[in-house]
Each structure stands twice: as structure tokens, then as C-alpha cells.
A and B are shown apart, each in its own frame.
Chain A
């Protein structure tokens, strides 16, 4: 097994070298991140001189919050924690589970027990050992009341420690995608148990101690977070000495910082900036499809979306494919489903029932629902057909602009609409309380399993189901799909689910936002993809 992997690594490295000469739009196949690389790579790299630069500076939009893995709820902290902590399993470039802290795993025939064989000799940054006891402790915390991931871990009935490095998870029911639950950042990150037991909780939550390739070093609130190389890491690398995160909220400033060498990696830029970057030989641009869906969610418990005819009407009223094409492409691409098109759960274009653009049809439906045009807008029993669109401010690509165009197109069919742009924290507060009619929301996952989207967003009581969507028939299909292990059957079930979701017209679909990376073209050993962007262990700079 090891030999095959090593061979694979060498092949990939060779391919990567060839690809280095190719234009940046064609990224090389990502190298295997976790396995030790062969010493052979040194002689292969003789053409390029390794730079003395060993710090990798990443721009962050927002500051970190706290590092208790089972409570991390924001992408920023998650990205930093990814360097410090590790999980039982990790993802290959194609999103499939691969070994990480567990070297191997087995699933019982009934699908109820998952046995993980842990990597031996791994220690935490504080010197304490990693073993089955730590794993059991961590997942017990993960399913406890204090955890934000208790829904994902509730399926774990209990765990049996077979020996120091073997642990079996017994599930309450078979679950085909259980590996995804273990892999999920942030609940899957395993912290030091000894530190938890000896430290004050608040100190522990701000001083992350994991087993990962980088160790937490310094945090200057509002400015930067610094991580240093873990010399005792079990894997190969890291080649970097430091990973530094700088808090730069403004996208425009990030772009300037990248161009002037202040940071090495930014993950968002405008379409216009991307065009400029592509002309710049010093900057590599990678834009790849990702498991990130964007949609307007219609709150079915609020006027006027309690009426399916109005939900349909607003869909007819908006020409979303053209809007996305005009102002958000190529970063966001229109999609007609809640599930990302890049994942295996999406049945292909034209399969799902979808609503086109026809303002006249929209007005017919509104009239069918009992509204009459009074002046410029529709009214029913003296109540104006008015909709407030909640928009975050630059959280998702072109969010505010898409909301504004949508509002404009609503107005044109006689729906009085306005946009309420809110700061992210305040926005989430209102949205989570269900205090909205219609909201621009996104859902990002590093894995493609459809359950990561459906179970959170449209299952009754799902953790991201803020718009109160509920359909017993759909719930039943989703639960069935969770238990099913045959991939073809699952695929068919999720197709059925998507048809039901679209028939309920709970959304106005916007599209899938790609992932983007902009970094100096001197960077080697790193090939970001939707599932593996955070692996910096082989990264280095050339002159």
C-alpha cells in the first residue's frame, strides 16, 4: 500500500513540475498532502532555486473568534484551526476520505460500527499522546449539549476502545456518509485532552493545542495570527517556518497588498481584478468550482411567502441566470438546485423542474393569489405586496448587487421591494431568529455529500433551515438516503429530493460560487482544490 502511494507521489510531483511551466489557469494535479514524499524531489527541482522566504502570509476578512473545535462556527477560525488540529480522516483532492490521524478504518457489514485504527506515536503540541482515549473524550464532547455539532454526532451511540490505538464507533442507525461527519471541520478537529483537563476553559479555548503541522504562536487581536512550524509533526514537512494570517477586511486593500507583496494569498477579488491578475505574470490565479451554493431563501412562515403562488411568482419575476452572468460570472455560476453542481448529487442540467423568466406569468400568479394592482404595486385587502430582502455586505460574492437587481426586477412586476443590508453579525442574528421574508444566504461545505446540504438546509429543523422549510415526504426521503449505502440508490434518492425541493419553491436559486486563490507565481508544492485548499505542508517559494 505504502509503496503504491509513494510511487503515486513521485508521479504527481513530476507532473506538478511539468505543470509549473504551464499557464496558471491549468493547475497541476494536487500532490498527496499527508504521505511522506520521496527524497527524489530534491534533484528534480534543480532548475528552480528555493527562496529563503519561509513565511506564508494569508489575508483574512475577519478575525478569529475562539478555538474550541466543537464551538467553532465561522470560516475564518476554521481555516486557522485547520493548520493546528487534525481529524481522524481527511480528504483527497476528489473529496473522498483518506487516512489522517486514523491510518485505516473498517465498516461492519450492518453499517453500524465504524472501527478506526489510529496512527501511533503522534503527540500533541503540548507533548501529550494521541490515542483512543482522546478520541473517545473528544467525540463525547462533540455529541454533548455544549457542542454546536451535536446534530452531526448524535448518530454516535457510543464508542468502544479496543486498545490504545483502536476505537470503534457504534452508530444508532446505519449511515453511509458517516465519514463526512468525522471529517467535517470543525467538530472533527481533535484537541489535546490533557490541556483541556489542566487548563482553565477560557484559556484553553484561546490556546489551541492540536497535533497538526503548525503550532499556535501569537495573536494580535484585529491584526494578525501567527503559527510556527511543528518540528515534531508525524508527516513530511512542513517546509514553511511560519504561517501568518493578517486581518484585512477590505477586498480592495487585499488586492493591493497582494500586488505589493504584503500578503501571499487572497481568496477574493472582483471580476475586474481577476482580469488584471491574469495579465500579471507574477500572480497565479486559480478559480475552481466548489461545493458552495447561494440562494434566496423564502420564509414560508411570513407574508407573502406562505402562499406558494407568490413563491412561484417571484421566481418568474427574476431573470437570475442573466443577472448572475452579467455581474457575478465567472466566480458565481447559475445553478437550478440547492445542491452544488460540482458534487455527485446534482443530476445534471435540465433534469430538475425549474422556473424561467416571464414577468407576465409572475403578474398572473400574483393576481391568482388575490392581489390587485393599486397604483404601482399590488395589494390584497389593503395590504401592499411588499418584500424586504435581507442582504449581507460583501459576505458572498456580489451579494448586495444581486439583491439590488432582484429588487429592481420585483418592482417592475408590481412587488414593492427593498433591500436591507446588514453587518454580518447583526444579519446572522436576525436570520437565525427567522426574522426575515427573504434572505441572501450561502452554504459552504468542503465535501460533496448531498446530505451536508439537504439535511442542514431543508430538512425539518435542520441546523441551517432558517426559513422554516418543512415537508414530511422530503424528510422521509432524506432519512432514507442517509441510511442507504448503495451509491446509485442514494443518487436516485437525492434526485427525488431535489425535485421535491424545487416543487416546493422554497428558494430563488442564485448559483454556485467558485473558490478562488490568488498568490505569487513563485509558490510551489501547493495546489488548492475545493476539498484540500488548506494543506500547506509541502508549500515553498522559489526565487
Chain B
């Protein structure tokens, strides 16, 4: 309860929360909120600017941008959560194993992660899409894979710092199995930074997925993927700016929201902040950042 209370008092977390809430509501209630389906074409009204009937204008096939952006929230959140989930699960498991057991498995896993880390995230995602082929699910996997090394590193570091603590030794002495120690004693103690990083990572995933889609390798038409919408608008940007600007704003809002929320969570979860709150200002530096 402490954490949630602090979070609700945190200003940037509140702003971030509102952004996320809007996007999540859009995603969940798209069929109700969107006036039209995402692929309802009407060639007669193609490329209309924003007006009363077409609030955010229409695209080159006469589809309402408003509806497409609302439906697009679904796609973006799907990609972001799935990708973060993949990174979290695979990277987290690898990090736990490496950090807890150490030795050879640690060196092997972390060497592998270092190799992956050597590539910029977007490049890694592109390479994976190049292998798997374009498509919504492949983008999820690709962006997910590019998040694995970051999660692994974070979880390993946190695990290492907990592993040598007395209460873990006590568990060993009491005869607890490795699985029990990992699940019941280590994981709960490192969940803070993981939650913060995962939140930030959702924002990054949306950016990366939009990047991949922009290059034409993401969700295939007519799925209303924001990145894909911007990509399609490249040709029209000088004559029909609304086809590119509004999906861009949607991406911006979402990423902004998740980043603010991540910041807020970090402050709320970080014990050092708790102490600093009594003083004059909160220290802003933290080990947890998403690139």
C-alpha cells in the first residue's frame, strides 16, 4: 500500500498514469469508441483534412484516422506487452540462473548476453524480423528478443546482490531447494527494479515496434499499426500531414506515459528515495534506465 500511495502522490506518475489509462481504455473499448472499423474504406472521402465529420482526417483509402488510431492502440499495446513479456520471461530466467548459480553458467549466459547487447536494440530487432519475415507476431518476438539481454543483466545484478545475504544462507542451512529459494526469497526481493524496468521497457518496445513497422517489416496492411501508418504517410506528408502527425502523437503519448510511469515507480520503489523524501530533494540517479 505504501508504494501505491507514494505513486499516486508522484506528479509525473499521475500524468503518466492518465496517458496510459487513455491508451488502455482505447485499446479495450476500441469497438465501442471507434466510430468505424479500422478498414472501412470510402474512396470518395480519401485524404480529407480534419473536420467535424472526420476529426483527425482520412487516409489515402478514405479510412477515418480517428478510428484507425483507436484500433491501433490495441496493436501497439499487444506488441508492447507481448514483447516485454518475452524479454522479461526469457531474460529474467537467464539472469536468475546466471546470478544465482554463478560460475560457468554465469560466464556462458552473460557472454551470450554481451554479444546481443553489442547490437543496438533496433538493429537486433530488424535482424530477427529479417530472419522470421514481416508480420505482427514476428515483430513481437523480434522486439522481445532485443529486450532479453537488458532484462538478463538487470536480474542477474540484483540476484547477485541478494544471493550472499544472511537470510538466503539461512534458507540453505534449513535445507530449502534452489527452486524454493529462487521463487520465494530472491524473486520477491528483486521485483522492484524489474517492475520499473519492465514499465520503461513497454515504452521502448512501442518505439522499436513502430520503427520496425515504419520500415515496412511490421504488422501488415490493413492492420492499423501506428508505425505502419506513419510509414504510409511518408509520401503524403507534404500534402496530407494529418496521416502522419496523429499516429506520431499517439506513439508519443503512449511512450511518454510509460516513461513517466516508470520514473514514478522507480521513485516509489526505491528505498533511498524514501529516506531522501524527509530531506530536501530526491536523488534522481538510479541504476534502472531503459535505452
Contacts and interface: CB of A to CB of B under 8 A. Distances in A.
Q: Do A and B come from the same complex?
A: yes
A59 B239 CA distance: 21
A218 B46 CA distance: 44
B8 interface: no
B143 interface: no
A326 B235 contact: no
A408 B46 contact: no
Contacts of A273: 238-239
B239 A250 contact: no
Q: Which of B39, B61, B62, B234 has the most CB of A within 10 A?
A: B61
A273 to B, nearest CB: 7
Contacts of B54: none
Contact of B46 (A250, A270, A327): A327
A419 B221 contact: yes
A326 B43 contact: yes
A322 B43 contact: yes
Nearest to B60: A401
A83 interface: no
A427 to B, nearest CB: 12
B36 to A, nearest CB: 12
Interface in A351-408: 393, 400-401, 403-405, 407-408
B134 A404 contact: no
B222 interface: yes
A207 interface: no
Contact of A408 (B39, B237, B240): B39
B47 A418 contact: no
A264 B100 CA distance: 64
B136 to A, nearest CB: 11
Overall SS of chain B's interface: loop
B39 A252 contact: no
Given A393-B216, A408-B222, A255 B61 contact: no
B164 to A, nearest CB: 51
B41 A405 contact: yes
Given A272-B47, A327-B46, A419-B220, A404 B234 contact: no
A255 B46 contact: no
A423 interface: yes
Given A322-B43, A326-B44, A327-B60, A420 B238 contact: no
A401 B220 contact: no
B61 A327 contact: yes
B190 interface: no
Contacts of B237: 252
A327 B134 CA distance: 26
Contacts of B46: 326-327
Nearest to A394: B235
A421 B134 CA distance: 9
B235 A251 contact: yes
B132 to A, nearest CB: 13
A323 interface: yes
A252 B235 contact: yes
Contacts of B39: 404, 408, 411
B60 A252 contact: no
B253 interface: no
Interface in A411-436: 411, 418-423
Contacts of B134: 421-422
A270 B220 contact: no
Contact of A404 (B47, B221, B238): B221
Interface in A204-225: none
Interface in B189-227: 216, 220-222
A2 interface: no
Nearest to A409: B41
Overall SS of chain A's interface: helix
A3 interface: no
A276 B239 contact: yes
Contacts of A400: 221, 232
Contacts of A422: 134
Nearest to B43: A326
A175 B222 CA distance: 48
Given A401-B60, A421-B216, A270 B239 contact: yes
Contacts of B234: 250, 252
A270 B234 CA distance: 11
A401 B220 CA distance: 12
A327 B221 contact: no
A405 B47 CA distance: 15
B236 interface: yes
Interface string B227-252: 00000101111111000000000000
Contacts of B62: 326
Interface in B20-63: 39, 41, 43-44, 46-47, 60-62
Given A272-B47, A421-B134, A407 B222 contact: yes
A407 B239 CA distance: 26
A423 B130 CA distance: 11
A323 B43 contact: yes
Given A327-B43, A327-B46, A419 B235 contact: no
Contacts of B60: 327, 401
B263 to A, nearest CB: 36
A411 B60 CA distance: 19
Contact of A421 (B220, B238, B240): B220
A277 B239 CA distance: 12
A326 B59 CA distance: 13
Contacts of A326: 43-44, 46, 62
B63 to A, nearest CB: 9
Contact of A401 (B61, B238, B240): B61
Contacts of B236: 270, 272
Contacts of A419: 220-222
Contacts of B44: 326
Q: Which of A276, A323, A421 has the most CB of B within 10 A?
A: A421
Given A393-B216, A421-B220, A272 B41 contact: no
A515 to B, nearest CB: 19
B228 to A, nearest CB: 10
Given A272-B47, A327-B60, A408 B220 contact: no
Interface string A264-304: 00000010110110000000000000000000000000000
A312 B47 CA distance: 32
Nearest to B228: A421
Interface in B60-81: 60-62
A471 B21 CA distance: 61
Contacts of A276: 238-239
Interface string A313-335: 00000000011001100000000
Q: Which 4 A-B pairs have the closest CB atoms?
A: A272-B239, A326-B43, A404-B221, A252-B234
27 contacts: A251-B235, A270-B235, A272-B47, A272-B238, A272-B239, A275-B239, A276-B238, A322-B43, A326-B62, A327-B43, A393-B216, A401-B61, A403-B221, A404-B41, A404-B61, A405-B41, A405-B43, A407-B221, A407-B222, A408-B61, A408-B222, A411-B39, A419-B221, A421-B216, A421-B220, A421-B221, A423-B216
Interface of A: 250-252, 255, 270, 272-273, 275-276, 322-323, 326-327, 393, 400-401, 403-405, 407-408, 411, 418-423
Given A252-B234, A407-B221, 8 more contacts: A252-B235, A327-B46, A327-B61, A403-B221, A418-B220, A419-B220, A420-B220, A421-B220
